[in-house]
Amino acid sequence: MGLIRKQTPEQPMEVVPERPSVEALRARLDDPDPDCRREAALGLDGVPEAVPELLSRVLAETETNVRDAVLTTLAAHDTETVAGGLAIHLASDDAALRTAVAEALATMPRSVPALLPSLLAAPDHDVRVMTAMVLADLPHPDTAVWLTRMISDDPHPNVVTAAIDALLPVATSEHAEVLEAAVHRFPDDPFLRFTVQAALPRLAGTA
């Protein structure tokens, strides 16, 4: 008697849900459900026509995780339009928004350099402090040059201290002179002086 092969039941085909249209995703940015808004923001990655709605959503969004998704999608465009639209929030009274925007800008090395002249000349010294934070993490070969310029030229000690903090992870003995000069420029700022004095011994052994 021959063996009878058992027939395995056919596996049901997996149904892949249809991707929502761009128009549907754009409409969902205003959905009452934050999870829906977050998924919509992430789903609009690589859709340039959605940039205006996403930029508007940065200020309107009240949920941190949704705003982070919006910023992630926007930063991936790395265009001057997006960078300029985000940079205006560096002057916001909302500290969490300022920080989130600075973190997003720090991932945009192609477009942020064009904004630096205006950001470094901003009349609000808090904007210049946030600019130092952007430069601290910006993957660009000239970040140390820009930070050194801030340390040498900016008239506000808080900005200079922020620039020093941003520069120190990559600073070498070549930067010791500009750091010491900053101490002389602001002799009454104990925190700036302490930051530089703590760093100088380490810099002495670097090239």
pLDDT digits (tens, 9 = 90+) for 128-153: 999 999 999 999 999 999 999 999 99
Task: Report pLDDT for 11.
Answer: 60
Q: What is the pLDDT of residue 1?
A: 47
Q: Is pTM, for the whole model, over 0.85?
A: yes
CA-based torsion, 45, 24, 88, 133: positive or negative: negative
For residue 54, pLDDT over 80 is answered with: yes
**Would you mind telling me the total number of residues written for the chain in this entry?**
207
Q: Is 176 exposed, middle or buried (0-12, 13-18, 19+ CB in 10 A)?
A: middle
